[in-house]
A and B are shown apart, each in its own frame.
Chain A
Amino acid sequence: MISALAIMALGAVVLGAALGYASIRFRVEGDPLVEKIEAILPQTQCGQCGYPGCKPYAAAISAGEADINLCPPGGMDGVRKLADLLGREVKPLEAEEKPKQIAIIDEQTCIGCTLCIQACPVDAIVGAAKQMHTIIEPLCTGCELCVKPCPVECISMQPIAENIDNWKWKYPVFEIKRAA
């Protein structure tokens, strides 16, 4: 009886020590789930989800504070991936899904106020005070954050046109013909 208790106690102590050691030795810095979620998010940093950037949104999803269907740039595809990762239900997107677009500055109208430069989260706008500004197109994520601050409304969002470099083979679809 005593020996059985002692063995159990000893076992508890040994295993406890092992677990305690492991929790220190193999400690994971940061939250790996946040990183996994962030890898799915499109990194537009647009804030349309209500969080100031993709990382805060990822953290909020991970903490269970935010839903997975708040990211319009990620689209339904993103929602599906998040649902897959987190084992949650796929939900329809909160906002309407838009085609990928980029901001274009009408350089004739631009007065060089630098407000859009300050708004751009990815430094994709070049220009200086009282100088014309322009968008570096390959860097623009289409977040629309520069559109509102512009005092002369010279920034417009334009969908990215299909060209030879981004053209994709289509999903094979066949017309069904009525048999004569």
Chain B
Amino acid sequence: MLAKLFRFKGGVKPQTNKAISVHEPIGRAPLPARLFVPLHQSIGGAPNPLVQAGDSVLKGQLIGAADAWVSAAVHAPTSGRVLAVEEHVAAHPSGLPTLCVVIEPDGRDEWIERRPVDHHSLPPERVRELLRDAGVVGLGGAAFPSHAKLTPARAVAMEHLVINGAECEPFMTCDDMLMRERADEIVRGIAIFRELLSAREVLIGIEDNKQEAIAAMQEAVLRLAPDYRVVAVPTRYPAGGAKQLIRVLTGKEVPASRRSTELGVQCFNVATVYTAYRALACGEPVLSRIVTLTGNVERPRNWEVWLGTPMREVVALARPRADSSSFLMGGPMMGFEIPDLDAPVVKATNCIIAASPALFPPPPPEMPCIRCGACAEACPHELQPFELYWFARARNFGKTQEYYIFDCIECGCCSYVCPSHIPLVQYFRFAKSEIWAREREKQAADAAKERFELRNARAEREQAEKAERLARAASAKASEKRAPPDPGNKPAPESAPAVDQPPAAAGEVAMTAGDAEAIRKAAIAAAIERARSQRESAQPRNTDRLSAGQQREIAAVEARRAARSTAATAAASGTAAATDSGGAAVPPAGSRRDD
């Protein structure tokens, strides 16, 4: 069946250099002495560590649990002992550390219990959860959690499921070798994804420079799922970009800042599909990935490497030549220089290239932009890189956003064709990260403002409440002073005169020490009396609308309490009487003196 293919605009044709690393089959890299498994290996939330130093772990044991929907779990690649959960340099252009679980393998490579599941028997939500907990992420390099892409859009029926085997980056052959050697598993994995998305058609896009992979996939498809279509797409960088491949295979152009699901298309990398199949059908989470070791090395080859293996040990397998000056992670177009070879291999490490001055000559000095427009012609997203460059250079980030900088996939075509050797992509990366930083700052400032306003509102409210309380207390005092002439509404008429009479008398006669004492005592007595009456007047309000049984219980409790309190007063009355008479003896003495 001859399908009509479409063309994406722009693109370049760099030398592919793929042939050197496909002579040998995929090798299994040995276990290193120490594994440094970073917890945050995917886009989205950083998983929380589930182990601590001293724990022993089994192969496939969960060591980091996904903390959000867009996040993926991390597992121990082999059995052994956790030496530490600590910061270790990350496979990141910054060379900064990230939280890693350091595992010392015990050599037994003992599996945790593997539970293969039949995805047909499970609801789709459960399958997605299983994929998240197996750590399945996009292995093309972006490491976006796959389960989050496996929810079909409600409004649009899923028309095409695009499987990306294009692998357009020069030097890289990991997907090529995977398709050659493990085509059956890939095809079975596609069936799972197709079912989850209920996609009508499956299109497997492979660049036409990988004839063996195309043949292997066609053979597997013919045997297992004859209605899938394996399509050879013309070799042109970046045919393996999701939007570009979708364009080539389906003719659909995904608009700026929209998702392909809205057009009824979803795209997955072949390696992602393969790991998803292993996760469900074998119960094996993502513990390793295939890494191409190539470039200035004596033995370029693809290796299945345990995640967390330090790159230094991986690189040694390929025997880099003496004049290798640096190492790149990812391809020469989109990759970055590894700042420290102690960094571990992660889910996004698809290729490590040994660079030498002969292989990648240092870029000639940057010359001024001559506005030739070559970059705009090469841009596969139909952006205008020269405009973006001006604005990024001038730090006019608002303008870069107006020119859709966030649609730039950093493929490097513009830098590749620039006759002035301007590192355009670096400017765009700089602008993007500045914009993100500003966004973060803005959010923090807004949050701070809100908290400040809430705090001010609280302070005001507290002040108002305090003023009100003071006013109430003052008015209560005033009314109390007015109360004595009318003894009827006073709960303790005997003590009240004792409070008020002495000061009245003090106006005429000088107060003695005993006098003051008497006033104080009387005031205390009055306060106790007030508290008691307040307690008595405060009736529980939560006893309405209770069942008869509960009412009876409450009544019983009340009766018991009343009985106990009368008994206690009776017992204490003897001593109380003595103190009472002692206390009562003072006021008469005082009054006698007053008289």
Binding site for B on A (CB under 8 A): 38, 41-45, 53-54, 121-124, 138-139, 141, 162-164, 166-172, 174, 176
- Any A CB within 8 A of the CB of B92: yes
- Any A CB within 8 A of the CB of B124: no
Given contacts A122-B455, A174-B366, contact A169 B429 (CB under 8 A): yes
- Pick the contact of A167: B40, B94, B365 (CB < 8 A): B94
B423 lies within 8 A of A172 (CB): yes
- Pick the contact of B445: A42, A123, A167, A171 (CB < 8 A): A42
Complex Cα–Cα for A139 and B449 (A): 11
8 A-B pairs with CB atoms under 8 Å apart are A42-B445, A121-B452, A139-B448, A164-B40, A164-B90, A172-B426, A172-B427, A172-B430
Q: Chain A contacts of B90 at CB under 8 A?
A: 164
Least distance between A143 CB and chain B CB atoms (Å):
9
Q: Chain A contacts of B323 at CB under 8 A?
A: none
Complex Cα–Cα for A38 and B426 (A): 33
- Any A CB within 8 A of the CB of B96: yes
B451 lies within 8 A of A123 (CB): yes
Q: Chain B contacts of A169 at CB under 8 A?
A: 93, 426, 429-430, 432-433
Task: Name the residue among A38, A44, A141, A172 with the largest chain B CB count within 10 angstroms.
Answer: A172
Per CB-CB distance, the 6 closest pairs between chain A and chain B, nearest first, are A43-B445, A169-B429, A168-B433, A172-B426, A122-B451, A43-B449
Task: Name the residue among B40, B97, B365 with the largest chain A CB count within 10 angstroms.
Answer: B365
Task: Name the residue among B93, B96, B440, B445 with the largest chain A CB count within 10 angstroms.
Answer: B445
Complex Cα–Cα for A139 and B441 (A): 12
Q: Chain A contacts of B434 at CB under 8 A?
A: 168
A176 lies within 8 A of B445 (CB): no
Q: Chain B contacts of A45 at CB under 8 A?
A: 448-449, 452
- Pick the contact of B437: A138, A163, A166, A171 (CB < 8 A): A166
Q: Chain A contacts of B98 at CB under 8 A?
A: 164
Smallest CB-CB separation from A169: which chain B residue? Answer: B429
A162 lies within 8 A of B426 (CB): no
Complex Cα–Cα for A18 and B258 (A): 46
A53 lies within 8 A of B366 (CB): no
B96 lies within 8 A of A43 (CB): no
Q: Chain A contacts of B96 at CB under 8 A?
A: 162-164, 167
Complex Cα–Cα for A169 and B423 (A): 13
- Any A CB within 8 A of the CB of B446: yes
- Any A CB within 8 A of the CB of B222: no
Task: Name the residue among B427, B429, B437, B444 with the largest chain A CB count within 10 angstroms.
Answer: B444
Q: Chain B contacts of A172 at CB under 8 A?
A: 366, 423, 426-427, 430
Smallest CB-CB separation from B90: which chain A residue? Answer: A164
Per DSSP, are chain B's interface residues mostly helix, strand or loop, or mixed? helix
Complex Cα–Cα for A160 and B19 (A): 47
- Any A CB within 8 A of the CB of B528: no
Smallest CB-CB separation from B98: which chain A residue? Answer: A164
Least distance between A179 CB and chain B CB atoms (Å):
10
- Pick the contact of A168: B437, B448, B452, B454 (CB < 8 A): B437
Given contacts A43-B445, A44-B448, contact A170 B455 (CB under 8 A): no
| Interface flags, B345-365, vs A, CB<8A=1, else 0 | 000000000000000000001
A174 lies within 8 A of B452 (CB): no
A141 lies within 8 A of B426 (CB): no
- Pick the contact of A139: B97, B365, B440, B451 (CB < 8 A): B451
- Any A CB within 8 A of the CB of B516: no
Q: Chain B contacts of A168 at CB under 8 A?
A: 430, 433-434, 436-437
- Any A CB within 8 A of the CB of B33: no
Complex Cα–Cα for A138 and B426 (A): 30
Smallest CB-CB separation from B93: which chain A residue? Answer: A169
Complex Cα–Cα for A41 and B432 (A): 22
A170 lies within 8 A of B449 (CB): no
- Any A CB within 8 A of the CB of B505: no
Complex Cα–Cα for A164 and B436 (A): 13
Smallest CB-CB separation from A163: which chain B residue? Answer: B96
Smallest CB-CB separation from B437: which chain A residue? Answer: A168
Chain B interface, number of residues (Cβ within 8 angstroms): 32
Binding site for A on B (CB under 8 A): 40, 90, 92-94, 96-98, 365-366, 423, 426-427, 429-430, 432-434, 436-437, 440-441, 444-449, 451-452, 454-455
Given contacts A45-B448, A164-B94, contact A121 B455 (CB under 8 A): yes
12 additional A-B pairs beyond A42-B445, A45-B452, beta carbons within 8 Å, are A38-B449, A42-B441, A43-B452, A44-B448, A54-B449, A54-B452, A122-B455, A139-B448, A169-B426, A169-B430, A171-B430, A172-B366
Smallest CB-CB separation from B454: which chain A residue? Answer: A123
Complex Cα–Cα for A101 and B430 (A): 23
Smallest CB-CB separation from B365: which chain A residue? Answer: A174
Complex Cα–Cα for A166 and B92 (A): 13
Given contacts A167-B96, A174-B365, contact A53 B452 (CB under 8 A): yes
Smallest CB-CB separation from A140: which chain B residue? Answer: B448
Q: Chain B contacts of A54 at CB under 8 A?
A: 449, 452
Complex Cα–Cα for A174 and B423 (A): 10
Complex Cα–Cα for A54 and B450 (A): 12
Q: Chain B contacts of A53 at CB under 8 A?
A: 452
Q: Chain B contacts of A164 at CB under 8 A?
A: 40, 90, 92, 94, 96-98
Complex Cα–Cα for A43 and B441 (A): 10
A43 lies within 8 A of B423 (CB): no
Complex Cα–Cα for A43 and B436 (A): 18
Least distance between A37 CB and chain B CB atoms (Å):
13
Given contacts A42-B441, A164-B94, A172-B427, contact A139 B447 (CB under 8 A): yes
Complex Cα–Cα for A43 and B449 (A): 6
Complex Cα–Cα for A174 and B420 (A): 14
Complex Cα–Cα for A14 and B352 (A): 78
Q: Chain A contacts of B452 at CB under 8 A?
A: 43, 45, 53-54, 121-122
Least distance between B404 CB and chain A CB atoms (Å):
18
Least distance between B36 CB and chain A CB atoms (Å):
15
A43 lies within 8 A of B446 (CB): yes
Q: Chain A contacts of B430 at CB under 8 A?
A: 168-172
Smallest CB-CB separation from B431: which chain A residue? Answer: A169
Complex Cα–Cα for A167 and B426 (A): 15
Smallest CB-CB separation from A179: which chain B residue? Answer: B365
Q: Chain B contacts of A41 at CB under 8 A?
A: 445
- Pick the contact of B448: A141, A166, A176 (CB < 8 A): A141
Complex Cα–Cα for A100 and B424 (A): 29
Complex Cα–Cα for A37 and B93 (A): 37
Complex Cα–Cα for A83 and B35 (A): 53
Q: Chain A contacts of B93 at CB under 8 A?
A: 169
Least distance between B422 CB and chain A CB atoms (Å):
9
Complex Cα–Cα for A13 and B427 (A): 59
Q: Chain B contacts of A170 at CB under 8 A?
A: 430
Q: Chain A contacts of B433 at CB under 8 A?
A: 167-169
Smallest CB-CB separation from B362: which chain A residue? Answer: A177
Least distance between A120 CB and chain B CB atoms (Å):
8
Q: Chain A contacts of B445 at CB under 8 A?
A: 41-43
Smallest CB-CB separation from B432: which chain A residue? Answer: A169
